Amino acid sequence: MKIKKFVTNNFGLKVTALFLAFFVWAMITGKERSYSERVLEVRVECLNVLDNIDVSSVKPEKVRLTVKGTSKELKKITPEDFKIKIDLKNVTEGTRLNYFTEDYLQSPEEIQNMSVHPRMIEITVKEFITKEVFVRVKYKGRLKRGIRLIERRLVPEKVKIFGYKSQIGTITTIEGTEYVNLSEIEESKSIKIPLRKQEEILRFEDTDEVEVTIVVDNKNKSKNKKDEQKKSK
């Protein structure tokens, strides 16, 4: 009797409250299950890049995705849930490459990709090389009268330079940053001179200087020595 009385007491109010609760529940669950769109930006990644290859540009660096899913699903996702990974393991020389974005897009199974912009990704790579080039030193002036050049030696005669193939491929000679003034040389001597690092050269692989050895015979000194000996006698 008590249960029956509890059910029938304010029956209309209770039915209304139950209906409102059901309506609110339906609104919430319906909203969670309804489909909507969201725009995300996903970074392009390059994988397995060889040591002699440099990725100089990726256009664009980020791809804009418009994705579709339930409101509940879209709230959970982040740009990190999507991947655009391009494998460059077979790229061995400098070139410009084009890839279809959708071929490399990885996304959660429950998300439908609506659109991708841009549809094409352009990647430019440059090749690094190491090459051997001749060393050149410039001279000015002349040896003084009575001084004879016996030998002129450069150590090293060649150096290795490192840089982009497209930029250093035509370089054959590296010059010293200073002149050797022959008019100042009185005796055999060695001079260390820094090498000129051109803008295209990223670095010197072994050394960045050259040692110039000048071997001379100074007859003037021999003559002066003899004159001094005569005077002493």
Say if residue 162 is in the same domain as residue 118. no
pLDDT of 80 over the 50 cut: yes
Percent of the chain with pLDDT over 70: 79
Task: Return mean pLDDT, the chain.
Answer: 84
Domain with 77, as residue range(s), is: 35-127
Tell me, what CATH number does 205's domain have?
A: 2.170.120
pLDDT in tens, 193-218: 999 999 999 999 999 999 999 999 99
User: What distance in Å separates the CA atoms of residue 82 and residue 64, rounded to the nearest whole number?
Assistant: 11
pLDDT at 18: 55
Of 2-11, 163-172, 212-221, minimum mean pLDDT range: 2-11
pLDDT at 15: 53
The residue written with tokens 């890839």 in the block is 99
Domain tally, the chain: 2
Say if residue 123 is in the same domain as residue 141. no
Which residue among 105, 127, 149 closes a domain?
127
Q: Which residue has the higher pLDDT, 12 or 167?
A: 167
pLDDT in tens, 7-40: 455 555 555 655 555 445 445 544 445 667 889 9
Report if residue 106 sits inside a domain. yes
Which residue among 61, 96, 127 closes a domain?
127
Report if residue 57 sits inside a domain. yes
Beta-bridge partner residues of 173? 134
pLDDT in tens, 108-120: 877 776 789 999 9
pLDDT at 220: 79
Say if residue 122 is in the same domain as residue 146. no
CA distances from 204 to 23, 113, 127, 208 (A): 76, 49, 17, 6
Of the candidates 41, 112, 25, the one whose C-alpha atom is nearest the C-alpha of residue 70 is 112
Report if residue 195 sits inside a domain. yes
